[in-house]
Structure formats: C-alpha cells, structure tokens
Structure 1
Amino acid sequence: MAEVIAQEKQGGSKQRKKLIRVDMTPMVDLGFLLITFFMFTTNFTKPNVMDLRLPAKDPNPHPIDNVMRDKNQVTFILGKDNRVFYHQSNAEDLNSSNLKETDFSGIKISKIISEAHKNAPKPEIFTVIVKPTDEANYKNFVDILDNIAISKKERYGITDIKPWENKVYEELTK
C-alpha cells in the first residue's frame, strides 16, 4: 500500500530524507468496483413505448357494402391548434355540417367512440380511424390513441387524410 524509502543524503550532514511512495493499484481497483456497483444498482430510464398492433392481412377479404362500412367506423381528423374533427360519412355525404368538432378535454372523445360503437351495424368489426393532418402535433396523436385505449377498442387504423376530407377540413378551418 504505502512504502517508506529511507535515503541518505551525501555530504556533510547525516540527515535522512524519507520519501513516501503510495501504491495506487488498490485505489484504481476500488474505483472500478465502485463504478461497477453503481452501474448495476442504478435504474436507467425505461423508454415509453406505445403498443401499436397492426392487423394481419386477410387472405379472403369479404365485400362490405359502403353504407354499412361508413356507419361502422368513426374517423378523427387531427388539425392544427389542438383541434380535432370527427365524422361517419363517405366521400359523397361528407360536408361541413356533418364534420363535427370536439376537443381533448375530459372524456369527450371516448364518449364519441362509445356512441359510434353503440350505433354501429356490426359492432364486432367497428373501427376507429385516425387521420392526422400536416399541422397536427404529436401530443394530440398520443392523446387520441390514449382515448382509443380508454374506450377499449382494439380495431383502429392510422392513415393519411383523403383529398375529399381535406377539402371539407380546409373549409372549416379558414
């Protein structure tokens, strides 16, 4: 650990000068042991991951008439300034009167999903569709997915906004 070396000085005086040399090897070992201990006992932050399940491709798709399909889903359009719109219409029926607006406060979105599910012709294949615009922010996207999870709907999809929906959306946001 430590070593004392006695040296005599050459010359007239008989005084001894003691040099102390400290061996640093055990100190380095102790440092590495402490670093290793703290690395193994530290809780590193766990990444926040959202489970996004994608459906398998159906080898035998069944034809569905358009009226049943339109009423068997609810579409949410995420816009700028924390605005969210929803509808249950197709390209021919969608206009500014049936593209309704809501917000993220409370459980409004969960209620909308539950109402649409209750009125669906085939509730077992009811689907929630999320269409974020280019102006939408990530927080709103996560909020809508949280609301889907709260409403316990496992069939949902995320896609781009269609041109016919974008046209009606632009009318309402101007």
Structure 2
Amino acid sequence: MENLNEPKSTGKKSLSKKLIRVDMTPLVDLGFLLITFFMFTTNFSKPNVMDLGLPAKGPITETPVIDFKNQVTFIIGKDNRVFYYQSELGDLNSNILKETSFDGIKISNIISNYKKAAPKPEFFTVIIKPTDDANYKNFVDMLDNMAITKSDRYGIAEIKPLEKKIYEEKVN
C-alpha cells in the first residue's frame, strides 16, 4: 500500500526525508462500489401521466344528441390566446366568438358557468379545437381545466373552415 523510498545519500550529513507514496488503486474500486450502491438504493422519480377518459368497452348504446346550449367550444390560438363560443356553427360570427386568457381560473369559471346554465348538465360537453398556431402548453392547460372542473365529457376536434375564418378575423 505504501512505499518508503529513501533518498540516496550525497555524502553530506543532512536530515533524510522519507518519501511516502499511497497506492490509489483500491480507492477506485471503492468509488465504483459507492456509485453502484447509491444507484440501487435511490428512488427514481416516476413520470407524471395524465389519465384520459376513454370510453368504456362494451356494447355501443345510443348517444344523446348534444344541443349547442349543452356545449361550449374553445379555440386555442397563437400567442396564448383562447376563444370560446356557444352557438350553432352556422350562426357563428365575430361578435359571438369571445376571447379570454389562461390567467388564473378564467377558463374554469367559463366552463362552470356554462355547465350550470345547460339544460342537461349531465350531458354537458366541452369541445377543444387547437389551431395550427397553438402551442402544446396551452393544450395541456386546457386539459388541466377539464380536470379542475371535473368535466368528464370533452372532445378534441379539428377547427372548421368557418371557425378558422372568424378566428383569423379576431386575431388580425
């Protein structure tokens, strides 16, 4: 483990110093053992996963027709902007399409208010329509709002041409 090397005598009377050399080879093995020990004993964090409400398996039953008064549609746009409306698609215009933001609990309040005013709250549906300009974070925030408001019935759909036209009018 250690070697003592005595210096060669030069013929002079002087204090002789002994050189000590420590062998580091066993410490490398100890380091790897410690790394292995800590890798096996640590708890790795589990990834957070959001549960999606998928339909139950079984026979297909007749689904009720969703009236426009029993739903609200959100259009997720660019620059963290979100628009919503509750009307027939044919009646949609730029005055009906309203804008809100992701600040605080605004979207949750909108969903709750429309759900309370719905003729059949048990069939109330939220439709989420992200545009091509929307970012993923806003989409996840929208799904979080579904969980906050306990809205089990929601759908993700593509934006229709009329909706896109009115959305672009509001953005520009």
Q: TM-score range by the shorter chain?
A: 0.7 to 0.9
Q: 2:83 aligns with which of 82, 85, 90?
A: 85
Cα distance, 1:155 vs structure 2: 1.6
CA distance in 2, matches of 1:57, 1:73: 25
Q: Which residue of 2 aligns with 1:142?
A: 140
CA distance in 2, matches of 1:99, 1:87: 5
SS at structure 2 position matched to 1:101: strand
Q: Which residue of 2 aligns with 1:49?
A: 49
The letter of the residue matching 1:36 is T
5+ residue gaps, structure 1: 5-19
CA distance in 2, matches of 1:57, 1:134: 32
Q: Deviations over 1:33-56 (max 9, x none)?
A: 211111123343432322222224
Q: Which residue of 2 aligns with 1:32?
A: 32
The letter of the residue matching 1:71 is K
Q: Deviations over 1:117-162 (max 9, x none)?
A: 1111211111111111011111211221222211121221222112
Cα distance, 1:27 vs structure 2: 4.3
Q: Which residue of 2 aligns with 1:156?
A: 154
Q: Which residue of 2 aligns with 1:14?
A: none
The letter of the residue matching 2:158 is D
Number of aligned positions between the proteins: 159
Q: Which residue of 2 aligns with 1:130?
A: 128
Cα distance, 1:173 vs structure 2: 1.4
Output the TM-score relative to the length of structure 1.
0.76
CA distance in 1, matches of 2:29, 2:109: 62
Greater alpha carbon shift after TM alignment, 51-60 vs 78-87: 51-60
SS at structure 2 position matched to 1:160: coil
Greater alpha carbon shift after TM alignment, 33-42 vs 117-126: 33-42
Identity rate of aligned residues, in percent? 68
The letter of the residue matching 2:52 is L
2:116 is the counterpart of 1:118:
yes
Q: Which residue of 1 aligns with 2:101?
A: 103
